[in-house]
Structure 1
């Protein structure tokens, strides 16, 4: 048992270092697009870290006899696993190394924060308090963490879209100079078509991923309300965590509403999606650090 618990704490540290090297390799692969070996190595490192996170959660589940989502440490490990899974799925579909270059820094930060920064006492598995001894624990928290992982990736793509827009606006002047000097408009049109195709791909995948994560967030909030009524006798108490979960839901609901009914695409939609990225982090970590409430398991200050 002691060996199992020791491995429990050490495995995420190994995953953290793997993600660090994966992040570096992804960045190098961007500068060497024709070198597929570096890209495959970076992907393999993420796959290995994903398996390590899954193994860590499984060992906790078996060792402690409850689903490992009862404290901040366990939720960070689960979120790291969720992010790596979503990232690998999108990468498999798009064959693009851009996803890994923006997702691995987030995963590296989460794994490092959970395994190297959190106090040892907060990493320990403790007996569940009465309010957490419910079948709703797995339903509610799993849905919320999966929604966080999915929406973070989707909103990261929105941020990437805005970055491309800014980069292209700065590069447009240089392209006009090339046109004047070379008079070779066919080459420039191909470059512009390539950029347009990349922007459209990023925009579409951001929309698809956010659309996938939103139902998980909705189910998570509804199941949390039912669980709250069972545990505390009230469906909604305007706890800081509940309030920010509602704000997060509204931000992404507005994003989807704007795309579906208003026809927003591109820059306007990307701005909304980017706002969602910061709202998620406030809901997930900021509330726990800045204020206490019924969802206070993550309080460290």
Structure 2
């Protein structure tokens, strides 16, 4: 099912790019919708089967969390497309989704893809809530940050026509006729949706840590970067609400969130492993 999802996502990504080029071809839009739904279903069945076979919610290792992140991204993409009626966002998000499942299926060694019995500290409902909320927040914030990056690319582009594209030509009937205004507003809305998930995930993680180790917060690298991620997006939302920050300044702060999310999710884990290996060989 993972391989099937990878193949479907690959061809769906191509269909999305072609649908932006040839917008009048209805068959391409239908293929995009079928591809996203099929990939979402394959990932759901894969995660559900691992849940049944392992008898615990499939978020115990990096492989499972990457697949769950992909499923969340696809689910949110379906929701966004029903609201915007455009394939522009899918053309931006699908390559990230494809890279994630490629990394999970082809880069991670087989031993990291296998289910293993949970240690006592991980056998907690708070862990399931913490990880699921964090993955959902990561997916939402990644999409919102990607739109901020797109805003910067278009607004700073040397091709002026890109900043004056009629939104209706891309199926964006809301907000205004300016493409950049639509991207800016949707980035803000999506980040505003993901921020509460991040907050709930961090709180649930603190409760789980206290239940497992007797301390709500220990300032380890993962917790520190989770706090940094929260502060970055809290600053973004605060600036939008109270200072009326818009345009390139808001997009720059939102784009920073994209980097911070990936450092918090993957960067911290790999840095720790690299540090341990370096210390081992130096000693």
TM-score computed with the length of structure 2 as normaliser: 0.90
Residue 179 of structure 1 aligns with which residue? none
1:31-86 CA distance string (max 9 Å, x none)? 11211211220221111000111111111111111101000000001000000011
Superposition pairs of residues 1-301 of structure 1, within 5 angstroms? 11-167=1-157, 170-172=158-160, 197-291=178-272
Quote the RMSD (CA, aligned, Å): 2.1
The gaps in structure 2 that reach 5 residues or longer are 170-175, 277-283
Secondary structure at 1:291 match in 2? helix
Deviation at 1:191, TM superposition (A): 5.8
User: 1:93 and 1:279 mapped to 2: Cα distance?
Assistant: 28
Moved more, 241-250 or 37-46: 37-46
Contact 1:13–1:112 at 8 Å: present in 2 too? no
Number of equivalenced pairs: 268
User: 1:239 and 1:98 mapped to 2: Cα distance?
Assistant: 39
Residue 178 of structure 1 aligns with which residue? none
Structure 1 segments (4+ residues) deviating >4 Å? 189-196
1:220-254 CA distance string (max 9 Å, x none)? 00110111011111111111111110010000000
- Greater radius of gyration (CA): 1
Contact 2:51–2:58 at 8 Å: present in 1 too? yes
User: 1:279 and 1:13 mapped to 2: Cα distance?
Assistant: 29
Deviation at 1:139, TM superposition (A): 0.8
Residue 6 of structure 1 aligns with which residue? none
Residue 281 of structure 2 aligns with which residue? none
Residue 5 of structure 1 aligns with which residue? none
Secondary structure at 2:82 match in 1? helix
Change (3 A) 1:229 1:30: same
The gaps in structure 1 that reach 5 residues or longer are 1-10, 176-188, 297-301
